[in-house]
């Protein structure tokens, strides 16, 4: 069987990613990052990195600097061995992303840029990137006393006393549940909000997306969980379903790791 | 030398597969090595074999699942073996053909049923090494009976612990068979060692009842109550997934305990943690213990038979706690969570102590053992110009006849048993 070319990568605390690989043949090799287009659309955004010899034994290295930030989405990683050759999609070797694990404890200036190298379902190396003017990072979620209480932290914007959280019905953006965002005693942009399950039950079935409006006239900021090493959170961070007044309420993370609440009819 | 490994399915995930790839890769530095996978169900194995290792499969389930012979139960592969249902007349035939034509000087079987094939069907000139990755005590009496008879045809039987080697010597009469412990090896880590600062506890393995992930979760409830910023990550897939998810919900631990799915290899996940844990009721070896310790993690494990106590030095590089006792497990874990200095000290000790499982020392032992087995077989090649050919042929036929008689007897017996049901 043929040997698979594997690419190691290391992320440092500044978000810099260093890739290392040993291609069998390489004349002026490049690493090509391609933003995965929406289905049916052509590729548009491509980022090319020079691969430089790194020590002996045919190993090459490319560095993706923290700036410029990558556009939000999923970036596939390819090798172009030489100027005249076609590109080949790369498979992952060890991904040293340990510095990302507690990424939620650090302050992030605006814009909030996040990148997490991960393995795609079909076994290739890719980078999950988020790029947001401001971001509200969800933390512990408590289900008690008929309500859901979430602790979160705002990055890239100022939290004011007028801050509120809105949950918008995805199919009808005018249907909105609004609750206050209470600043936590420890400051630093940390806040909590509570939504009673009965509020969802009364308002109807569907997917409700969570946003924070940090100030009265501010642009809403999506609440999600982006600041660690977990690229696909949906099957890992799983919350219980709660049945109330004939409705089943379940908070969950979307494919983009944003926080939403699914409400379905219990019958 | 030419070495051939015979394995159930090199395309799956598990300790036997990992350790076989590791040993094969290390031997490939100096020898000709192949891995023969009886079954294959996907294009690529989860682990990449060393470039010097040839990998081939005997039955490709993607094409041959419905082969008529694959619907008929195996006759050579013992009925009492755990995986008998996955074997068939087709595997019987393909394994026999593969062994008859093997270019190897030594063939290494990696599970009881395959060791039986080897003992019964390997050509006279080929040295036969059976590896036992499970343990004798855990085998059913029917399997033990089948193995007691067949294993006499092996040259060497290796177990993964000294305790299991002692069981084989004590309970099985295997005249002329060398029984020795050969621990699994774990390659030198390629990533920097864990530094003990991460507030993450890591467990890994198939999600099956014997691994007692439920006990780890219960124990972790105490940690989460006292240290809510710590998390437990469980890597693996399996039948217990839903039950474990239910337990996490019942204990309200969804902010601290995560079922991460499978990760192969685990190294990049171990180094995200600062303590490794396992709570098995039974662990023939304990591959995850060695993997984690080689990454610099102290390890908390139950003191179950057989592996953990041959790997962990209690209080020095980890903790051994009584089987099935979640309170004791939680207490041992909390001791390491509370004390940063203790955790780091034990992590450094784990790193040093686990070096004895590096490929270097383990492979050197394996190499010596294989060489001796080949020499003991006479080292003669089929058709090699040497004296005494007639005699050897006769002996060989005698051996084959005896083996055939055994196989026939065992299948006749099985038929009788089936008739009674």
Structural domain boundaries in chain A: 6-132, 135-265
Instruction: Choose, out of A93, A98, A137, the residue to mutate when testing the contact with B (most B CBs < 10 Å).
Output: A98
Q: Is B245 on the interface with A (CB under 8 A)?
A: yes
Range B132-143 average pLDDT: 93
A101·B272 Cβ contact <8 A? yes
Residue ranges of domains in chain B: 2-185+361-420, 200-357
**Min Cα–Cα distance to chain A from B228, Å:** 9
Residues of B in contact with A3 (CB under 8 A): 48, 51
The beta-carbon neighbor of B254 closest among A3, A8, A239 is A239
Q: Is B249 on the interface with A (CB under 8 A)?
A: yes
Question: What pLDDT is attached to residue B229?
Answer: 95
Residue A194, beta-bridge partner list: A149
Q: Which residue of A has its CA nearest to B272?
A: A98
pLDDT reading at B396 higher than 50: no
Question: What pLDDT is attached to residue B236?
Answer: 96
Q: Residue B409: pLDDT band by 50, 70, 90 thresholds?
A: low
Q: CA A106 to CA B12: how far, in whole Å?
A: 39
Range A118-136 average pLDDT: 96
CATH T-level topology, domain A135-265: Immunoglobulin-like (2.60.40)
Range B342-346 average pLDDT: 98
Q: Residue B293: pLDDT band by 50, 70, 90 thresholds?
A: very high
Q: Over chain B, what is the mean pLDDT?
A: 90
B44·A123 Cβ contact <8 A? yes
The beta-carbon neighbor of A229 closest among B44, B249, B272 is B272
A94·B199 Cβ contact <8 A? no
Under CATH, to which class is B2-185+361-420 assigned? Answer: alpha beta
Instruction: Choose, out of A101, A105, A122, A148, the residue to mutate when testing the contact with B (most B CBs < 10 Å).
Output: A101
What tokens were used for B224?
């989460």
How many residues appear in chain A?
A: 267
Range A125-143 average pLDDT: 97
Q: Which residue of B has its CA nearest to A95?
A: B268
Instruction: Choose, out of B192, B247, B268, B291, the residue to mutate when testing the contact with A (most A CBs < 10 Å).
Output: B268
A236·B245 Cβ contact <8 A? no
pLDDT reading at A4 higher than 80: no
Rounded to whole angstroms, what are the CA distances from A231 to A188, B121, B204, B230?
25, 49, 19, 20
Range B319-347 average pLDDT: 98
Return the CATH architecture of domain B200-357: 3-Layer(aba) Sandwich (3.40)
Question: What pLDDT is attached to residue B398?
Answer: 39
Q: Phi first, then psi: what are they for A231, rounded to 5°?
A: -75, -35
Residues of B in contact with A141 (CB under 8 A): 254-255
Question: What pLDDT is attached to residue A186?
Answer: 81
pLDDT reading at B397 higher than 70: no
B198·A3 Cβ contact <8 A? no
Q: CA B406 to CA B146: how far, in whole Å?
A: 10
Give the model confidence (pLDDT) of B76-118 as tens digits: 999 999 999 999 999 999 999 999 999 999 999 999 999 999 9
CATH number of this structure's domain A6-132: 2.60.40.10
How many Cβ atoms from other residues are within 10 Å of residue A216's Cβ?
10
| SS3 state of residue B365 | helix
Instruction: Choose, out of A90, A94, A116, the residue to mutate when testing the contact with B (most B CBs < 10 Å).
Output: A94
What is the value of ipTM here, to two decimals? 0.95
Give the model confidence (pLDDT) of B174-193 as tens digits: 989 999 999 998 889 999 99
Q: CA B299 to CA B274: how far, in whole Å?
A: 9
Question: What pLDDT is attached to residue A42?
Answer: 84
Q: Residue A153: pLDDT band by 50, 70, 90 thresholds?
A: very high
Q: Phi first, then psi: what are they for A91, rounded to 5°?
A: -100, 150
Q: Residue B379: pLDDT band by 50, 70, 90 thresholds?
A: low
CA neighbor of A214 nearest in space, from A134, A141, A130, A140: A134
Give the number of beta-carbon pairs within 8 Å between A and B.
56
pLDDT reading at B416 higher than 70: no
**Min Cα–Cα distance to chain A from B164, Å:** 34
Question: What pLDDT is attached to residue B48?
Answer: 85
Give the model confidence (pLDDT) of A56-98 as tens digits: 778 999 999 999 999 999 999 999 998 888 999 999 999 999 9
pLDDT reading at A20 higher than 90: yes
Single pTM value for the model: 0.85
Q: Is B254 on the interface with A (CB under 8 A)?
A: yes
**Min Cα–Cα distance to chain B from A87, Å:** 21
pLDDT reading at A248 higher than 80: yes
Question: What pLDDT is attached to residue B47?
Answer: 85
**Min Cα–Cα distance to chain A from B98, Å:** 18
Rounded to whole angstroms, what are the CA distances from B39 to B24, B36, B95, B123?
18, 9, 10, 22
Q: Is B57 on the interface with A (CB under 8 A)?
A: no
Q: Residue B410: pLDDT band by 50, 70, 90 thresholds?
A: low
Domains A6-132 and A135-265 agree in fold: yes
- Comparing A204 with A161, the larger pLDDT belongs to A161
pLDDT reading at A118 higher than 50: yes
Question: Where do we find the tokens 């593969």?
Answer: B98
**Min Cα–Cα distance to chain B from A97, Å:** 8
B261·A235 Cβ contact <8 A? yes
Q: Residue B402: pLDDT band by 50, 70, 90 thresholds?
A: very low
Tell me if A226 sits within 8 A of A114, measured CB to CB.
yes
pLDDT reading at B304 higher than 50: yes
Question: What pLDDT is attached to residue A253?
Answer: 98
A98·B51 Cβ contact <8 A? no
Question: What pLDDT is attached to residue A40?
Answer: 85
What lies within 8 Å, CB to CB, of B278 at 6+ separation is B203, B205, B211, B216, B286, B288, B289, B299, B300, B301, B302, B308
Tell me if A185 sits within 8 A of A172, measured CB to CB.
no
Question: What pLDDT is attached to residue B401?
Answer: 41
Q: CA A174 to CA A196: how far, in whole Å?
A: 20
Q: Where are the alpha helices (DSSP H) in B32-111?
A: 61-64, 89-100
Q: Residue A122: pLDDT band by 50, 70, 90 thresholds?
A: very high
Q: CA B232 to CA A67: how far, in whole Å?
A: 33
pLDDT reading at B126 higher than 60: yes
What tokens were used for B197?
């600062």
Range B159-174 average pLDDT: 94
Question: What pLDDT is attached to residue A188?
Answer: 84
Residues of B in contact with A235 (CB under 8 A): 259, 261
Q: Is B190 on the interface with A (CB under 8 A)?
A: yes
């Amino acid at each position: 069987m043929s040997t698979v070319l594997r690419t190691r990568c290391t992320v440092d605390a500044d978000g810099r990613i260093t890739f290392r690989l040993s291609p069998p043949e390489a004349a002026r090799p490049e690493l090509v990052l391609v933003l995965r287009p929406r289905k049916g659309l052509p590729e548009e955004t491509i980022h090319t990195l020079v691969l430089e010899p790194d020590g002996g034994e045919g190993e090459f290295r490319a560095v993706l600097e923290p700036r410029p930030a990558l556009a939000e989405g999923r970036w596939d990683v390819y090798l172009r061995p030489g100027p005249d050759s076609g590109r080949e999609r790369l498979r992952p070797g060890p991904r040293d992303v340990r510095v990302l694990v507690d990424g939620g404890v650090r302050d992030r200036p605006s814009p909030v840029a996040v990148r997490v190298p991960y393995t795609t379902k079909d076994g290739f190396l890719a980078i999950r990137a988020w790029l947001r003017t401001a971001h509200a990072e969800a933390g512990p979620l408590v289900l008690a006393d008929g309500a859901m209480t979430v602790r979160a932290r705002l990055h890239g914007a100022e939290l004011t006393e007028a801050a509120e959280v809105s949950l918008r019905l995805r199919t009808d953006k005018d249907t909105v549940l609004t609750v206050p965002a209470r600043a936590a005693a420890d400051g630093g942009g940390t806040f909590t909000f509570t939504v009673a399950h009965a509020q969802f039950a009364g308002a109807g079935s569907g997917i409700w997306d969570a946003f924070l409006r940090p100030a009265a006239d501010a642009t809403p900021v999506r609440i999600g969980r982006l600041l660690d090493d977990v690229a696909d959170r949906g099957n890992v961070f799983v919350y219980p379903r709660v049945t109330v007044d004939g409705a089943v309420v379940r908070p969950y993370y979307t494919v983009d790791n944003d926080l939403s609440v699914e409400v379905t009819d219990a019958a | 030398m030419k070495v051939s490994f015979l394995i159930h399915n090199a395309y799956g995930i598990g300790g036997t597969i990992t350790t076989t790839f590791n040993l094969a890769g290390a031997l490939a530095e100096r020898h000709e090595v192949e891995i023969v996978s009886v079954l294959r169900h996907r294009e690529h194995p989860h682990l990449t074999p060393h470039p010097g290792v040839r990998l081939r499969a005997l039955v490709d389930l993607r094409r041959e699942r419905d082969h008529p012979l694959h619907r008929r139960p195996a006759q050579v592969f013992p009925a009492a073996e755990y995986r008998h249902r996955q074997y068939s007349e087709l595997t019987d035939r393909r394994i026999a053909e593969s062994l008859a034509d093997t270019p190897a000087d030594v063939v290494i079987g990696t599970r009881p049923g395959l060791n039986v094939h080897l003992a019964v069907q390997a050509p006279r000139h080929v040295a036969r090494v059976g590896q036992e990755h499970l343990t004798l005590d855990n085998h059913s009496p029917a399997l033990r009976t089948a193995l007691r008879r067949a294993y006499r045809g092996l040259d060497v039987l290796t177990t993964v612990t000294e305790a299991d080697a002692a069981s084989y010597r004590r309970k099985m009469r295997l005249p002329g068979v060398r029984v020795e412990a050969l621990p699994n090896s774990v390659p030198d880590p390629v990533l920097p060692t864990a530094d003990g600062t991460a507030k993450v506890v890591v467990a890994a393995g198939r999600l099956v009842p014997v691994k007692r992930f439920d006990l780890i979760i219960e124990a972790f409830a105490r940690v989460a109550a006292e240290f809510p910023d710590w998390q437990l990550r469980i890597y693996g897939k399996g039948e217990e997934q839903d039950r474990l998810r239910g337990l996490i919900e019942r204990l309200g631990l969804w902010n601290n305990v995560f079922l991460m799915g499978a990760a192969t290899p685990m190294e990049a996940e171990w180094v995200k943690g600062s303590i490794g844990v396992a709570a098995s009721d039974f662990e023939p070896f304990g591959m995850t213990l060695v993997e984690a310790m080689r990454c610099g993690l102290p390890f908390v494990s139950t003191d179950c038979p057989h592996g953990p106590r041959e790997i962990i030095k209690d209080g020095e590089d980890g903790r051994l706690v009584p089987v099935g006792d979640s309170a004791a497990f939680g207490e041992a874990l909390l001791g390491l969570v509370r004390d940063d200095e203790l955790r780091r000290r034990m992590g450094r000790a784990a790193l040093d102590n686990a070096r004895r499982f590096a490929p270097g020392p383990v492979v050197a032992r394996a190499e010596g053992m294989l060489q001796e087995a080949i020499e003991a077989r006479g080292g003669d090649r089929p058709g090699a110009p040497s004296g005494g050919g007639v005699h050897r042929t006769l002996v060989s036929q005698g051996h084959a006849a005896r083996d055939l008689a055994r196989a026939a007897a065992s299948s006749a017996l099985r038929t009788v048993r089936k008739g009674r049901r």
